[in-house]
Amino acid sequence: MFDKLSNLLIIQIITEIEDNVDLVCLLLTCKHFYHNSSLKRLIRFKVDVRVFDKGIVSDKFTTIVNRFNLNSFKDILDNSISNQHIIVPPNKNYPKWLKDRISANNTADTSCVTTVFLNYDESNSSKQLDSLYKIPSIETLFIHDLGENSVVDLTSISSLPNLQRLTVCAGELNLSPHTSLSLTKLTLSLSNIPPQNAFISLKSLVYLKMDLLEEDNDQEEHVMDSLCLDLSSLLNLETFKFREDGFDEFTDYDDDIINIILPPSLKIMSIFSKRTQIPSGNKYIMPVLEKLYVVQSLLIDEKISLSLTPSLKKLVIYQCDEPIPSNLIPSNLEKLTVYRYPGHKDTLGLVVFPPSLTHLSIKGDYLEPSVRLPQSLIKLNITTDYLTVTLPQHLKKLVWTIGSRSKKIYPNLELSSSNNYPLHLETLNFYNIVGHFTIKVPPVTKYLSIPLYSSTKIYSISSRITVTKPIDQQSQQQQLWLPHNTTHLTCYSKNRPNMVFRLDEVINHTNVGYLTIIVETKTFQFTIQRLDSDNRNVLVLEKQTLQGGIITQRKTLNNQQQQHQHYDPIYIYLDTYFEIQPNKNITISGGTCDLLESQKNKKPKQIHKATFQSFLLNTYK
């Protein structure tokens, strides 16, 4: 059918595909794309592949470059980064493969370049900026200072008329106040607050994020002269985020208050600084502000008044260590999150939740028995030893955490209507419950998050799921351990940098199509597409790095009952030790698996039985 379609129509179809997994399936199905040079030059992956991230080579880019096995996909990768240009100091020591990649990209035609990464070197800044200003097509610019507290001079940035997004990490930034820019997004990490007139010309700015880094002692006087940030002229600004280094420490700032004047157009505001103040009064009302993220002390000390935000729908309060006044929560609030310090009790005892509240998260310490949950809730996140509170009957999402001081062990968790649980719980998140327990999941559950039992060598979902014993062997082979509605599964492993996971159990005994595995702080997101009715052929793809391939399962005869066959086990080995095994953090294999726990830099010994057609990932045989 595709042979009869024009290239223009095919490109339109590919453009409208939003997921990389669907794109890979299409390209594998329509293999003549590989031989159509005009199409190959136009196809790009949907994933945002940045060569650099915060001044260093991104892990995602490194992984993808070193794991692609088919030349066809290498072409598509080249297309995906063809609009990127890298400017680095000539004496910077990078691996040869990266130098070759940078050289290839930078020698190509720059007329199509829309994104530039500049590792700023103050000693070579003039040459770097001259090179930068010769690319007027730039829309996104990342500048990262390689020195300490360098001054990045962008007073001639008007040479980039198409620039929309700018990110700068440096000591100071010079922008000409007379320059009219088309910037819509500006992200700054600076040692000093910019002068009051620094943003006057940025009339199109929609998003502004500013991180104030810790200043040196000899810069203190300069900072003291610039403790006012006037953004009132930015009438298109919708999102403002301000963070000060050390805000979570008990620092004495005396009277050094940072005054921030904001425009009435603001919709989202985030303030992580204990010495920030927003002037009160009708002149400073933010009539359309919907989301506010703030530390509690600013509200208690009235440095930020909620009376200025009549349209507030979502409020997130951090560092809550004092009782919240009964009249603090707005009557029309819909979403409330409170981060409490451990050991500070009765912070919520006085609070009267409004009837409009639908989302409530209480994090950091135990839920107080005196807290009465409103029946209007549809999402609830709580920390408690015993789930004895009466859950609202309209609840759709429950996140239950056991406190860090808890010694309670749960042998079994059964959620059903007989236990007074809501009938519409689509999301259950139990990954912060400790101990050896199993869960009987309600039939309606679609999203399930569980911790993996850490005392086993090979992680298995059967260690957490209550599985009814089947009548016969054939029923066992076809049995679903999770409800048919459960399509999204998240498994969490703590205290281990690597793990072996029984992937075949998810493939053959669940209807899960989206599997997330969290190892320490590293997240792997897999999609599972079963290509036939008996699960013989399965496409497994990691969404962030596009590692994966097609698994063809094989059956072996059961010695006791020759008439029944079972698929061989399939193991997925996940490793977060990038410094030991760079870019080889995912391995899929079949057969038997013996762990070498004492040698973390080695893969497990395996007997390879499953056939694995890999286009992005090498199997470990």
Residue 613 in domain: yes
Q: What residue numbers bound the domain in which 543 lies?
A: 478-621
What digits encode the pLDDT tens for the residues 92-106? 778 887 888 777 777
Calculate the alpha carbon distances from 13 to 16, 25, 30, 43, 140 in Å.
Answer: 5, 13, 13, 11, 27
Residues sharing a CB contact under 8 Å with residue 377, sequence separation 6 or more, in sequence order: 357, 358, 359, 360, 392, 394, 395
For 418-558, list the strands marked E by DSSP: 427-432, 438-440, 447-451, 488-493, 498-502, 514-519, 522-530, 537-542, 548-552, 555-557
Higher pLDDT, 510 or 565: 510
HEC assignment per residue over 440-461: ECCCCCCEEEEECCCCCCCECH
pLDDT at residue number 140: 94
Q: Which amino acid is at 274?
A: K
Residue 545 in domain: yes
pLDDT at residue number 414: 55
The pTM of this model reads 0.82
Residue 353 in domain: no
Q: Distance between CA atoms of 552 and 355, rounded to whole angstroms?
A: 53
Which residue pairs from 176-182 have beta carbons closer than 8 angstroms and sit at least 24 positions apart in sequence? 176/201, 177/201, 179/155, 181/157
Q: Distance between CA atoms of 599 and 369, rounded to whole angstroms?
A: 47
Residue 483 in domain: yes
What digits encode the pLDDT tens for the residues 99-156? 887 777 776 678 889 999 998 888 888 888 999 999 999 999 999 986 667 888 888 8
Residue 25 in domain: no
Question: Across residues 51-69, what is the average pLDDT?
Answer: 76
**DSSP classification of residue 47:** S
Higher pLDDT, 552 or 103: 552
Q: Distance between CA atoms of 192 and 609, rounded to whole angstroms?
A: 60
Residue 510 in domain: yes
Residue 484 in domain: yes
**Other CB atoms within 10 Å distance of the CB of residue 361:** 16
Contact indicator for 321, 295 with CB cutoff of 8 Å: no
Q: Distance between CA atoms of 27 and 53, rounded to whole angstroms?
A: 29
Position 618 confidence tier, pLDDT thresholds 50, 70, 90: very low
pLDDT at residue number 148: 64
Element (H, E) at 474: helix 473-478
Q: Distance between CA atoms of 205 and 263, rounded to whole angstroms?
A: 12
Count how many domains the chain has: 1
What digits encode the pLDDT tens for the residues 527-551? 999 999 889 999 998 887 777 888 8
Contact indicator for 231, 263 with CB cutoff of 8 Å: yes
What digits encode the pLDDT tens for the residues 553-591? 887 665 555 555 578 889 888 876 544 343 445 666 654
**Other CB atoms within 10 Å distance of the CB of residue 12:** 11
Residue corresponding to tokens 């409103």: 374
Question: Across residues 363-367, what is the average pLDDT?
Answer: 73
Residue 499 in domain: yes
